[in-house]
Structure 1
Amino acid sequence: MKPKPKNILFVMFDQLRWDYLSCYGHPHLKTPNIDRLASRGVRFTRAYVQSPICGPSRMSTYTGRYVHSHGASWNGIPLKVGEMTMGDHLRAAGMGCWLVGKTHMRADAEGMRRLGLDPDSIIGARVAECGFDVFERDDGMVAIGPDGPLENPDDHRYSHYLRERGYAGDNPWHDHANSGVDAAGNVLSGWFMKNAAEAANIEEPDSETPYLTRRAMEFIEQASAPWLCHLSYIKPHWPYIVPAPYHTMYDTSHIKPAVRTNEEFDNAHPVLKAFMTSPVGKAFSRDEVREAVIPAYMGLIKQCDDQIGLLLEWLDQTGRMDDTMIVLTSDHGDFLGDHWMGEKTFFHDTSVKIPLIIFDPSSDADATRGTVCDELVESIDLLPTFLEIAGGDPQAVGHIVEGKSLVPILHGRADGAHRDRVICEYDYAATPIAERLGVGAREAVIFMVADRRYKLIHCEGGFRPILFDLEADPDELHDLGDSEQHAAIIEEMYERLFAWTRRISQRTTRSEAQLQEMRTAIRRRGVVLGAYDENDMPLELTVHYRNRKAAIRKPAG
């Protein structure tokens, strides 16, 4: 009898496309270590994020709530100080919740000041760090512009590590980990995609992915159970540059043809065309950009897979695989030139569908070991899954957590479909695209609802919908949003979207059980409404108002 997991290793890669792993069918990129994890667990083929951009997607994963509910709708928009997170739920169940790597979270500093929360206190630090206790926070992105740095290099432990290892300069993250160098010592910045084929100017063990792997091992070695460790890698997110030997492992012969057509571009919906013709979209529409970037992107993924191999081997050798659930996923994908776009900020499957592999070491999961699940699942389903593994009751927090536990699927006892639709949202109010489309900040939002057959995209601002038939058109090249023959389908999908918007998502201070108790509680506390005389109410509810005596007060004077 294998023991139930007492620890959870929650691995998230940044910007890893679901179809760039060999277990998901990539024809050239071999990822044997991630494949091995899949062979020991369950691989999900229809897992979707709740937003196609880092910050909101992660905030949904960390809260178990849709973007519409938690409100952190774009990178840099804080998670409201009152939102409960993975750490809050797990600690209440007796499991620690620790971070090694990236969250992309911004603290609600104004809210913390208003409530008098000291960021240096334990509770203040947790609120400022998305509910995690921090072993190491590293969001990467140590960029520096004319208005100063995005992140101060001196605030990053990784920057100090690089300097200790002899990598000089005021920003070793850029000059070494994310840039090449020529024979004269000139830095070939990784921000410029023409340099993607260069080897990063760093020894491979000192680059970001191996560094975070070692830090995760250091955390696990010193941790006392039970714990969740969120190992949140920064790669294969841009800058697209990778150290030797990974920079030469792939070339143009390994690049899959771009999934796009001239007809798709020429007839694109106005909102979709705005994304296609953004600077990133224009760049990735060029073959020279794809030919420079994609081999480097594949090299980054190969390095990630090798590090997962080292981590799995270490867990096996130390006996920790026997009591540790391992979850491997991504926060979104990467268009890489498909559909005339780069980055990830739209709703095609290349962007919003993610890899999700879950290994449960317990005997309860033996029946599903090595299987593939095609149920519709969402990133918000991970938090209630972790809570159930920790011994908590996801139903008890169902008024807060909007996801559904995957444990019934993992243990082969799921009864019926997990979901009949998935939801994704994108708020582009803070981007130049909103200005180009002439929409106000309140209208610059897009919603996706998809089932197993159709995907509907609703664009605020008076635009018609976008519709894809995922069965007849799995590459999502033909928009049926103005097809009269599909009017009934569009109406049906809109009804699913409207049903989602009508959910009760902000009633988070009272559970359903408490609300049911409140239906009669006020009567049992002596409040009598609608009674003409005492016999209109049960005796026990009015006993304190019957047969009472009081002194007769004589009028004054």
Structure 2
Amino acid sequence: MSLQPKNVLFLMADEHQAAALSYLGHGVAKTPNLDRLAARGTLFENAYSPSPICVPARAAVATGKYVHQTGYWDNAHAYDGRVKGWGHVLQTAGVPVTSIGKLHYRSEQDSTGFDRQILPIHIAGGVGQVWGSVRNPLPKTRKATGMLGHIGAGTASHNAYDMKVAKKAATWIAEQDQATPWCAFVSFVAPHFPLTVPEEFLNLYPSGDMPLPAVRPGQDYDLHPWVARMNDIENSDEELETDSNRQEAIAAYYALCSFVDAQIGKVLDALDASGQADETLVIYTSDHGENLGLRGRWGKSVLYRESTHIPMILAGPGVADGARVKTAVSLLDIAPTITAAFGLPDDPGWPGHSLSAIAAQPEDADRIVFSEYHAANSPSGGFMVANARWKYHEYVGYAPELFDLAQDPLETRNLVDEPDAAADRDRMRAALHAICNPEAVDGHAKADQDALVARHGGPEKAFNTGPSGATPVPGS
């Protein structure tokens, strides 16, 4: 097998919790196709999103840069090609780049690094969730979003879309000239809400068997005030009302994990049938995780691992089979991974490094990755750094948090004021402040958002502009 791949197949789901892989012995989730990809590749155990919400995370993937470097702050500040990314690098070198499926950029007309976009989803109307930019100050008006949509069996427009994406991607791979290198970004909606899923997948998960969230607000756990403030705007957990309904939502989420796994399996089968699997580097990941009721929150948008921790699998030429890497990595490592696969240089402004190189090196328990949040429902900027063991959160105007993931993987005990953890707190805080100044970034984000809100007629009008739930698929 050649150690240099000829092609790259980049697969992405939306809102896939890192833990929800049967390969990891999850106990509930069933993901046989991702399991077989991990078995012939390397899984990164500590992979993180640079921003736990769709549009900023996807802009960071495209550009290889932090959100605060580019200004793609929220679901109304979408990638428009203004900041060049890995796709542009490949195009300049003559490597054709195709997207199939969800992009969540501003518009198909923007030059975003693809020679061709097939079945793209972009932000609604080229405008997106303008209401999420109303943060200065954050309103206290509750939005009855119905965010999770219809919960249960059915075939939603988003399900039908994902099936079309899988079919189109399989056909596209079969049609490629094996003498010509290619790069394809194949992206799905699931397991993102709405929590509607074909019955054959829901039948795998009897709702009465679903474990309820392990961390819930109450006698043993108090919400951090920054997170509690989100409940003033959106509270899907309260809308669900009963634990039985919560179990139905959890069952539907895991069923969507199996559903998207089946779609990915169709694409991987097509790659195998094409005879190109041995010369194609395959990347699988998600833009962010899913809270799934932990801490009484659904969706994403918080800095805890259920929201920021993501699956990351690399397979193909030169990648060890069945390996697991503890070094912390990020979606920002994907840009240099793709350019390196084609023997092209990194952008010197990229903070990431090739996943192939990271996997080939000794594990680095101290490698720092970074995430930030400036979007819907947040009263101020939230910032996070993590390595293989420690995780530190800083919130502008609110108390920080420090977690020892080895002892407290669910992040329930804040050690920030513990004398025994002071050295680790100071080290992690210094790492965060070496990346950015939180107060300055928060001010920059809010200034940009204030300007957008003004263009949409002011806070009251802007707060009612844009979809409350998932971005509609084309033709729905």
Matched, 1:382 2:334: yes
**CA–CA separation in structure 1 for the residues paired with 2:302 and 2:35:** 28
Residues 95 and 228, structure 1, Cα contact 8 Å, conserved in 2: yes
Amino acid at match of 2:364: A
Q: CA deviation at 1:81?
A: 4.8
Matched, 1:135 2:117: yes
Residue aligning to 2:160: 207
How many pairs are equivalent?
420
Residue aligning to 1:274: 229
Amino acid at match of 1:391: G
Aligned partner of 2:390 among 441, 445, 454: 454
**CA–CA separation in structure 2 for the residues paired with 1:346 and 1:333:** 10
Q: Deviations over 1:239-267 (max 9, x none)?
A: 11012322322122442331214457763
**CA–CA separation in structure 1 for the residues paired with 2:339 and 2:83:** 17
Residue aligning to 1:425: 372
SS at match of 1:325: strand
Change over 3 Å in CA distance of 1:246–1:404 after alignment to 2: same
Residue aligning to 2:34: 34
Gaps of 5+ in 1: 108-118, 120-124, 152-189, 435-443, 503-557
Q: Which has the larger radius of gyration?
A: 1
**CA–CA separation in structure 1 for the residues paired with 2:270 and 2:79:** 35
Q: CA deviation at 1:85?
A: 1.2
Amino acid at match of 1:130: T
| Structural mapping, 1:442-481, within 5 Å | 444-461=380-397, 463-481=398-416
Q: Normalized against structure 2, the TM-score is what?
A: 0.81
SS at match of 1:11: strand
Matched, 1:222 2:157: no
SS at match of 2:336: helix
Could you tell which deviates more after superposition, 288-297 or 49-58? Answer: 288-297
**CA–CA separation in structure 2 for the residues paired with 1:24 and 1:378:** 19
Residue aligning to 2:356: 407
Residue aligning to 1:242: 197
Q: CA deviation at 1:64?
A: 0.8
Matched, 1:294 2:250: yes
| Structural mapping, 1:346-365, within 5 Å | 346-360=302-316, 362=317, 364-365=318-319
Q: CA deviation at 1:381?
A: 0.5
**CA–CA separation in structure 2 for the residues paired with 1:194 and 1:403:** 36
**CA–CA separation in structure 2 for the residues paired with 1:390 and 1:13:** 24
Amino acid at match of 2:256: L
Residues 275 and 341, structure 1, Cα contact 8 Å, conserved in 2: no
Residue aligning to 1:541: none
**CA–CA separation in structure 2 for the residues paired with 1:326 and 1:488:** 39
SS at match of 1:375: coil
Residues 93 and 387, structure 1, Cα contact 8 Å, conserved in 2: no
Over the aligned positions, Cα root-mean-square deviation in angstroms equals 2.9
**CA–CA separation in structure 2 for the residues paired with 1:485 and 1:417:** 23
Q: Deviations over 1:414-448 (max 9, x none)?
A: 156286211100003xx3543xxxxxxxxx21100
Residues 365 and 388, structure 2, Cα contact 8 Å, conserved in 1: no
Change over 3 Å in CA distance of 1:263–1:485 after alignment to 2: farther
Residues 464 and 481, structure 1, Cα contact 8 Å, conserved in 2: no
**CA–CA separation in structure 1 for the residues paired with 2:416 and 2:426:** 11
Matched, 1:22 2:22: yes
**CA–CA separation in structure 2 for the residues paired with 1:149 and 1:423:** 27
Higher relative contact order by CA 8 Å / sep ≥ 6: 1 or 2?
2
Change over 3 Å in CA distance of 1:266–1:433 after alignment to 2: same
Change over 3 Å in CA distance of 1:149–1:374 after alignment to 2: closer
**CA–CA separation in structure 2 for the residues paired with 1:304 and 1:415:** 33
Q: Deviations over 1:47-100 (max 9, x none)?
A: 111000001111111111111111101112033653111211122333222111
Residues 191 and 239, structure 1, Cα contact 8 Å, conserved in 2: no
Amino acid at match of 2:117: F
Q: CA deviation at 1:355?
A: 0.6
Change over 3 Å in CA distance of 1:497–1:31 after alignment to 2: same
**CA–CA separation in structure 1 for the residues paired with 2:165 and 2:429:** 43
Which runs of structure 1 show a deviation greater than 4 angstroms over 4 or more consecutive aligned residues?
140-143, 148-151, 190-194, 261-266
Q: CA deviation at 1:302?
A: 1.2
Change over 3 Å in CA distance of 1:263–1:408 after alignment to 2: same
Residue aligning to 2:472: none
Q: CA deviation at 1:200?
A: 2.5
Residues 54 and 104, structure 1, Cα contact 8 Å, conserved in 2: yes
Amino acid at match of 2:394: H
SS at match of 1:245: helix
**CA–CA separation in structure 2 for the residues paired with 1:79 and 1:31:** 31
Residues 16 and 286, structure 2, Cα contact 8 Å, conserved in 1: yes
Residue aligning to 2:464: none
SS at match of 1:207: helix
Change over 3 Å in CA distance of 1:306–1:265 after alignment to 2: same
Change over 3 Å in CA distance of 1:245–1:330 after alignment to 2: same
SS at match of 1:218: helix
Amino acid at match of 1:469: D
Residues 55 and 78, structure 2, Cα contact 8 Å, conserved in 1: no
% identical equivalent positions: 30
Residues 100 and 185, structure 2, Cα contact 8 Å, conserved in 1: yes
Change over 3 Å in CA distance of 1:419–1:101 after alignment to 2: farther
Change over 3 Å in CA distance of 1:256–1:499 after alignment to 2: same
